[in-house]
Structure 1
Amino acid sequence: MKNLNRWRGQLSAVLGLLGCLALFGLPLASVHAASPQRHVVIVSIDGLAAYLVDDPKVPLPTIRKLARQGSIVDGGMTVSNPSVTWPNHTTLVTGVRPEKHGVLANGVLVRGAVGMPTVIDSHRDQSDLVRVPTIVDAAHAAGLSTAEVNWPCTRGSKSLDDQFPDVPNAVQYTTPRLRRELIELGLLDDETHASFNKNSVVSRDHIWTEAACHLIRERQPNLLLVHLLNVDYMHHKRGPQTSAGYTANAYADMCLARILAALDDAGIREQTTLIVVSDHGFISTPKAIRPNVVLRQAGLLTVDAGKLSEARVHVVPEGGIGLVYCTRPGEAAVDAEKFKEMFKGQEGVADVLLPNQYDQVGLQHPREYRQSPDAILVAAEGYSVSGSVNGDTLVASNTEAGTSIGSHGFLSSLPKMKAMCILSGAGIRQGGHLETIENIDVAPTVAMLLGLDYPNVDGKPLSAALLNE
């Protein structure tokens, strides 16, 4: 009977992979034998810029030890545009850029009716956000066990055995058995998100870390995704390379050490590859530009009770860039050109990109993808983009504009936007140094480590970091 059940499970896994590929219109590839005795853990420390790994003021003993024992990408890993959290976490697990996977913000960009502003809706399932299969889908379909803790764009995934997703109301969408176990462990007070939401971001990183450790000890998933947030929060609030920032860096390193200890406890350290990454870098932004103020003064948007109510043209801020939306379809191209004329050369503005330049930044033309903006406003280094409609000047201090003292979201070509990438453990060369890579290379590397077929990626395995087995 056990053999029969095992055969049924394997058949179901193969059929699942075929169905997954067919669903997305992808060619069917031969299914390689996955490696059930191998494990990959990806830990993303949100906002830990690559340059911090070499900053002697940053206490990162665990991270630096992993780099010595494994391979590190010197100078950091080039991320996707826009250099924000959800798009880049999706790139990490798909091996393709946002122009293909479709995630352009921390949610779905929903264009309104004519004259109405575009809004970001974060209350969405993976199926609403991501247009291609992920490496998790491939692993699950091949019969491997999978789990995630606070990973973006995974809500409602059918490919995760356990999940605690990075979405609003996360506890509500946590796998029931994991939610019950976290309550029993005292990590969650109850089954409501309201009680979890009362925790500080430091406490949440603790809960997410301990949840990951629990999954490692109890389930030993073949593929585990973990996302920690406190570094990003503190870099926004206090800035990178500050005392508060260094403290957050050190705490993340301690959380990583806890995960390593759990691998030892589970007896799978020797069979596990650890990939430690970040999703983007960070820079200080003491000033901000407020394009919507200028658009309000030009009569191109309307403000009601201090808030944007209607707009012919408006800007959705993404840190170091602003996504420009023109709401009259027949006139959008002309309005975008006029927007460029208004802002090009102004203080704090590095560039304004129009759709014919989107191939340079890995985005689709708005006529091909409705979420794509009609233009992209690029801030100069030291300035962030504010969405504020209030005030009288384009340039303001970050305090007056209501923006963060530390920001990301800048074009990925900016050196300080590069992300950390370290590979260590099973199958990884010791003392390896890789030249700059893109984060599209992570998913195909995971596929090779786990013995998965994962076609249709833009990246390639990091062969220079892998042992010949």
Structure 2
Amino acid sequence: MTRLVIRLFVALLVCLLNCLASPAHGANRDSHVIVVSIDGLAAFLLDDLKAPIPTIRKLAREGATGENGMKVSNPSVTWPNHSSIVTGVRPEKHGVLANGVLVRGAIGLPTVVDPRRDQRDLIRVPTIFDAAHAAGLTTGDINWPCTRNSKTLDDTFSDVPDQVTHMTPRLRSELVQQGILTDETQASFAANSVVGRDLVWTEAACHLIRQRKPNLLLVHLLNCDATHHALGAQTPSGYTANAYADTCLAKLVAATKEARIFDKTTFIVVADHGFAMTPKAIRPNVILRQQKLLSVTAGKITEARVHVFPEGGIGLVYCTNPGDAPADREKFKELMSGQEGVADVLFPERFAEYGLPHPREYNQAPDAVLVAKDGYAVSGSAEGETFVTTNIEAKTSLGSHGFISTLPKMNALCVLSGRGIRAGVKLADVENIDLTPTIARLLGVDNFPTDGKTLTGALKD
């Protein structure tokens, strides 16, 4: 009897261990999802007939689109929103507030951003590629932010300084062999223009599609964003950038056909934010310098009691002495009140409604947020004497994002097409955190926790 009990116990234990070690039962190894983020492709461009984007429009006709595009996260900048797309939660939870880690200095020293960080330093919650990998599916990324040294991406070419250095060694060697990269050095890759880099990233993604057929592939293209910053979205140069991005997307679609997985692939074509024209700039740090709340040496802020870190249409306000922060932010609000170009100053008590973390709970969170009006960008410069100036004098971009996401111009492109997607669907009230549970459903990844909703209206089943 005792031997029988022992045998039953051992059998039960083995069964339990096998269950724990096995992929999730619902994971579909025969399905493929390719997420293509065209940085800065605003939702309004889908309906702008001057934008030559035939591939995107074909996928839209054959699939589902956001009726008003897709609402993005605050701040409406690149790394935070790419993190929202793959986590299904807003920055309040995933923790990415800028294009890097925001590092608070000692008392009296300004906050700086450090982009040379790993995934584990940036994102505080699980990602959909973590879950897909755990479910036994294959994963990869090309130029996706916040993925450096990821443990759950089989192939990675992360959006990070020194991209080539941190690339998966196998992929780096293959790209050199294929002639996609000149050699294995960062210097030769960095010599490319932003258009040339988009080409490298596109060819690298096509290589992965043909050779690996990943279940989940994340691709991020940058030329549209660069052009829209410099010259604006709805300009001849902007439209040219849109056309080039569309051509890159067409190559990815063609690669799935060459790999014979086209009929098994869902394409999710999105952007991280929209764009607004900002011919004027506001310079809050100039007033802070004039009030002796910060000091400048050789054009650089070297000491600060209060200073503003710019993020396009908003500025993150940091008070460097925790004991004086409540009084200092009140002083800041008083200084900004009534100034041209200022829409609002948000205090931490209001952060939750914007999906932002409270500084009491998260060290990177600002002590206040300066919100610019449409048409104005926030400059980080403390030089000059006037609060408002031109974008040229302030050295800010003619086109900007970063504005509070309720500004319709910040809405991003959102198109779902291919396997499992209904045709001709217009989706209302899409937010980028809704993409994660939708991807999970398409891949059969069970029980992934998100704050987003599955876009069931787009799905065939």
Partner of 1:26: none
Q: Which moved more, 1:451-460 or 1:358-367?
A: 451-460
**Pick aligned residue for 2:200 from 207, 212, 226:** 207
> How far apart, in 1, do the equivalents of 2:66 and 2:316 lie?
30
* 1:359, distance to aligned residue in structure 2 (A): 1.3
> How far apart, in 2, do the equivalents of 1:344 and 1:277 lie?
37
Change (3 A) 1:14 1:37: farther
> How far apart, in 1, do the equivalents of 2:150 and 2:447 lie?
18
**Pick aligned residue for 1:147 from 115, 140, 147:** 140
Change (3 A) 1:377 1:81: same
> How far apart, in 2, do the equivalents of 1:138 and 1:367 lie?
30
Q: Which amino acid aligns with 2:379?
A: S
Asked if residue 452 in structure 1 is aligned to residue 420 in structure 2, the reply is: no
Partner of 1:35: 28
* 1:185, distance to aligned residue in structure 2 (A): 1.3
> How far apart, in 2, do the equivalents of 1:13 and 1:193 lie?
43
| Alpha-carbon contact 1:14-1:142 (below 8 Å) kept | no
| Alpha-carbon contact 2:440-2:448 (below 8 Å) kept | no
Q: Which amino acid aligns with 2:217?
A: L
> How far apart, in 1, do the equivalents of 2:447 and 2:295 lie?
48
Partner of 1:285: 278
* 1:166, distance to aligned residue in structure 2 (A): 0.1
Partner of 1:178: 171
Asked if residue 79 in structure 1 is aligned to residue 57 in structure 2, the reply is: no
1:377-392 matches, cutoff 5 A: 377-392=370-385
| Alpha-carbon contact 1:444-1:454 (below 8 Å) kept | no
Asked if residue 299 in structure 1 is aligned to residue 284 in structure 2, the reply is: no
Asked if residue 169 in structure 1 is aligned to residue 200 in structure 2, the reply is: no
* 1:15, distance to aligned residue in structure 2 (A): 4.3
Q: 1:284-310: per-residue Cα shift (whole Å, max 9, x none)?
A: 000000100110000000011121100
Partner of 1:3: none
1:387-398 matches, cutoff 5 A: 387-398=380-391
| Alpha-carbon contact 1:135-1:454 (below 8 Å) kept | no
Asked if residue 336 in structure 1 is aligned to residue 329 in structure 2, the reply is: yes
**2:315 partner SS:** strand
Partner of 1:103: 96
Q: 1:367-401: per-residue Cα shift (whole Å, max 9, x none)?
A: 11110000000000000000011100000100000
- When normalised by structure 1's length, the TM-score is 0.94
Q: 1:47-101: per-residue Cα shift (whole Å, max 9, x none)?
A: 0000000001100100000000011111110000000000000000000000000
Gaps of 5+ in 2: 1-13
1:20-99 matches, cutoff 5 A: 31-99=24-92
Partner of 2:242: 249
Partner of 2:419: 426
> How far apart, in 2, do the equivalents of 1:159 and 1:341 lie?
48
Q: Which amino acid aligns with 2:128?
A: I
Change (3 A) 1:417 1:102: same
**1:356 partner SS:** helix
Q: 1:143-183: per-residue Cα shift (whole Å, max 9, x none)?
A: 00000000000001000110100000000010011001111
Asked if residue 216 in structure 1 is aligned to residue 202 in structure 2, the reply is: no
| Alpha-carbon contact 2:71-2:432 (below 8 Å) kept | yes
1:286-365 matches, cutoff 5 A: 286-365=279-358
**Pick aligned residue for 1:443 from 425, 436, 444:** 436
Partner of 1:27: none
RMSD: 1.4
* 1:14, distance to aligned residue in structure 2 (A): 4.6
> How far apart, in 2, do the equivalents of 1:58 and 1:12 lie?
53
| Alpha-carbon contact 2:31-2:265 (below 8 Å) kept | yes
> How far apart, in 1, do the equivalents of 2:171 and 2:282 lie?
44
| Alpha-carbon contact 2:107-2:321 (below 8 Å) kept | yes
**1:202 partner SS:** helix
> How far apart, in 2, do the equivalents of 1:225 and 1:252 lie?
15
| Alpha-carbon contact 2:102-2:114 (below 8 Å) kept | yes
Change (3 A) 1:392 1:464: same
| Alpha-carbon contact 1:13-1:142 (below 8 Å) kept | no
**1:246 partner SS:** helix
* 1:454, distance to aligned residue in structure 2 (A): 3.9
Q: Which amino acid aligns with 1:118?
A: T
Change (3 A) 1:428 1:326: same
Change (3 A) 1:16 1:339: farther
Give me the identity figure in percent: 66
1:228-239 matches, cutoff 5 A: 228-239=221-232
**2:165 partner SS:** helix
1:367-382 matches, cutoff 5 A: 367-382=360-375
Q: Which amino acid aligns with 1:101?
A: H
**1:273 partner SS:** strand
> How far apart, in 1, do the equivalents of 2:348 and 2:102 lie?
17
> How far apart, in 1, do the equivalents of 2:109 and 2:58 lie?
52
Q: Which amino acid aligns with 1:153?
A: C
* 1:12, distance to aligned residue in structure 2 (A): 8.7
Partner of 1:366: 359
Partner of 1:191: 184
| Alpha-carbon contact 1:92-1:442 (below 8 Å) kept | yes
| Alpha-carbon contact 1:212-1:259 (below 8 Å) kept | yes
* 1:33, distance to aligned residue in structure 2 (A): 2.5
Gaps of 5+ in 1: 1-7, 18-30
> How far apart, in 2, do the equivalents of 1:12 and 1:218 lie?
30
| Alpha-carbon contact 1:321-1:377 (below 8 Å) kept | yes
**1:137 partner SS:** helix
